[in-house]
Amino acid sequence: MQKVYLDNAATTQVRDEVIARMQEALAVYYGNPSSTHSFGRSAKTAVEKARKTIAKILNAQPSEIIFTSGGTEADNMILRCAVRDLGIKTIITSKIEHHAVLHTVEELEKEYGIAVYFVDLDQYGNPDMGHLKELLGQDDSKKLVSLMHVNNEIGNITDIGAISDICKAHGALFHSDTVQSVGHYPWDVQEISIDFFTAAAHKFHGPKGVGFAFIRKNSGLKPMIFGGAQERGFRAGTESFHNIVGLEEAFIRSYDQLEEETEKVRGLKAYFVEKIKKEIPGVEFNGFSGDMENSTYTLTSVRLPFDKEKGLMLLFHLDMKGIACSKGSACQSGSNLGSHVLTEILDTKELEKPSLRFSFSKYNSKEELDYAIKVLKEFAES
C-alpha cells in the first residue's frame, strides 16, 4: 500500500541534517548548560549560538529570543504575562485563532476580569480592519491585539504589517501566533512593529517539543516559570539542548533554501487545487485556501460534495489507503465539537459537507497527489 503524508500543517518530517545534529548533541555535548565546567560551557555556547543565529535571520536581538517547549507555551506565556505585568485590560482577538490563544484568553477573562472583544470576520475568515480600529478606539484601556499570521486550518494570510501599524497608531500591543508562518516566510522585525510572536520547530522540519517566543526588548514582561536563571531568568529549567540545536539547524536550512522550497511546495499546491477541481466536480475551498495569492502555499482546505453520512467514513477510508490528512487542526483531533474555524465562516448547509485539510512539504511529489485524488475520486463514485 502506498503511504502518502499530507498533514504537514500538523507536523513535518524532520530533516536528516537536523537528526544528525541532534544525535551529535545527545552523544557529545551532554553537559548541563548551566554548569561551569567545560562540558557545561560547551553546551551553553551552543545554546547561545542558536539564539544568535535565529535572531540574525529575524533581524532581532539575541535577548529577544526565548526558547520554549513550542508555540502553545509561547502563546500562553506572552498573553498571561502581558495581562499580569503590563496592565492589559482589553484583549482583541478573533474567533478563528488557535486554541492556544483562545483558551488562554478565556482563562484570563475569568481570572483577571479583562474585557475580550472579537474582531468581525468576512465570509472567508479575514479580519475587518475597520472594526479593529473601532474596537481599539472605543475606550482608553490598555489593549493587546492577538491575531494569527497564517490560519492553521484554512491558510488565510493576515496582513500583520497593516495590523501592526493600526496597533501602533492606537498605542496597543500586538501579538501574533505565527507558528504556521515562521520557517515558511521571510521575517524582519525591524520592518514590522510587532511586539510578540511565536514559533514551533516541528512546523518547519525540526523536532517536536521546542520553539521560541519573540519578545521585543524592554517589553516589561516578567518570568512565568520560576527557578534557575536559564533564558536570562525569563524561563527557568534546564534547557532542552538537543532540541534547541535541532531547532537552529532546521531554521538555518529553512531560510537558506526558502526560495527553492517555496517554489516547489507552491507548485504542488497549485497542481493539487487544479486537479481536484477537475477530478471531483462540486469541490469547494474553505476560506481563501484555494487562492494562491491570499492563502499560504503550504495547505488547502477542501469541502467535498458528499452527504453527511458518507462523509463520516471519509477520513477512515483515506487512512486505510495510506493517506494522512486532517479534518482541521491536529489539536482538535480528540474533540467531537468539529472545527471552530469552519463553524465561524460556513453556514449550516456547508458544514454538513465533509471538509479536509491537505498540507504539503518539500518531501511530497505530484505522484503522491495524483494517488490521493484518485482515492478521493473512487470514494466519491462508490
Please identify every residue annotated as catalytic: 331
Sign, Cα dihedral of 314, 98, 180, 129: positive
- Cα 335 to chain centroid distance, Å, stands at 19
Distance CA 339, CA 164 (A): 28
CB environment 297-331: b (16+ within 10 A), e (fewer): bbbbbbbbebeeebbeebbeebeebebbbbbbbee
Q: Which residues have a Cβ under 8 Å from the Cβ of 367 and sit 6 or more positions away?
A: none
And the C-alpha cell for 215? 519578545
Distance CA 363, CA 12 (A): 9
And the C-alpha cell for 76? 500562553
Distance CA 223, CA 51 (A): 18
Helices (H), ranges, 117-177: 129-136, 160-169
Tell me the residue type at 299: L
Distance CA 272, CA 287 (A): 16
Distance CA 342, CA 332 (A): 12
Distance CA 218, CA 339 (A): 38
Distance CA 219, CA 296 (A): 30
Residue 140 CB neighbour total at 10 angstroms: 9
Q: Provide φ and ψ at 63, rounded to 5°.
A: -65, -15
And the C-alpha cell for 192? 514590522
DSSP category for residue 14: P
Q: Provide φ and ψ at 157, rounded to 5°.
A: -100, 120
